[in-house]
Amino acid sequence: MKNKKLIYFILIFFPFIFLFPYTFKILEVGNDFELYYFVYKKYIFEFLIQGHLPFWSPTESSGFSLVLNPLTQFFYLPTWILYLFAYIFGDLSKYLFLIYTIAAISIYNVGQYLFLRSLNIATKFAVLATIITSSGLKITELLRFPNALHSFCWFPWILLSITLINQNKNIYFSYLTIFISSLMLLTAGYPYYIVYGLILFSL
């Protein structure tokens, strides 16, 4: 447990191993995953590979803004990393979008581990608690709501920053982290969790 690289490796790849039926295409995510979230990514990506950055969709009624629609995650940085990988692979598939969604749990894991360690919780217990939490139904069931999962994964990072600021530790890192993670939460496209976060972080 003293090997930090091994710990981060476990925390990052554990969700893909635990969710192996999805990772290895044995199962597919249902509910709103495709028709409510993936379609926007696919729509925007198809325009991007043609050299056009779409700000507006004329497909419904008189059209609607893609920029202001939270479902598109238009200003969410990991979305553009997803588009980059899709460009490299030649297509934005539903499977690639699933990997992108599972990766949110990896972000959550690292953040929760660091948060628990900032509270002086022993390394082995911090790792164990993180693995148990990330394998629980409350988190894994959010696979069907990619925006929700990508919003929630930044919660422990904000809690980590607040804790370090209160402890007067790593001040520059703390303010930078709280800025970036708050920006990610605001742009991840699930407004409910912004409200929940405001309540949680103010306690």
| Per-residue pLDDT, 203 | 80
CA dihedral 71, 75, 81, 87 (to 10 degrees): 70
d(Cα 47, Cα 49) in Å, to the nearest integer?
6
Distance, in Å, from the CA atom of 138 to the CA atom of 141, rounded to the nearest integer, reads: 6
What is the number of residues in the chain?
A: 203
Please, what sign has the CA dihedral across residues 117, 134, 94, 181? Answer: negative
Which residues of the chain carry a pLDDT beneath 50?
Answer: none
Task: In whole angstroms, give the CA distance from residue 27 to residue 191.
Answer: 29
Q: What are phi and psi of 58, to 5 degrees?
A: -90, 15
* Nearest C-alpha neighbor of 153 from the set 162, 163, 143: 143
pTM: 0.94
Structure tokens at 124: 């082995």
Output the pLDDT for position 1: 53
What is the model's pLDDT at position 56? 87
pLDDT for 19-71, tens place per residue? 999 999 999 998 899 989 999 999 999 999 999 999 988 877 778 889 999 99
Q: What pLDDT shows up at residue 182?
A: 96
72, 189 in Cβ contact below 8 A? yes
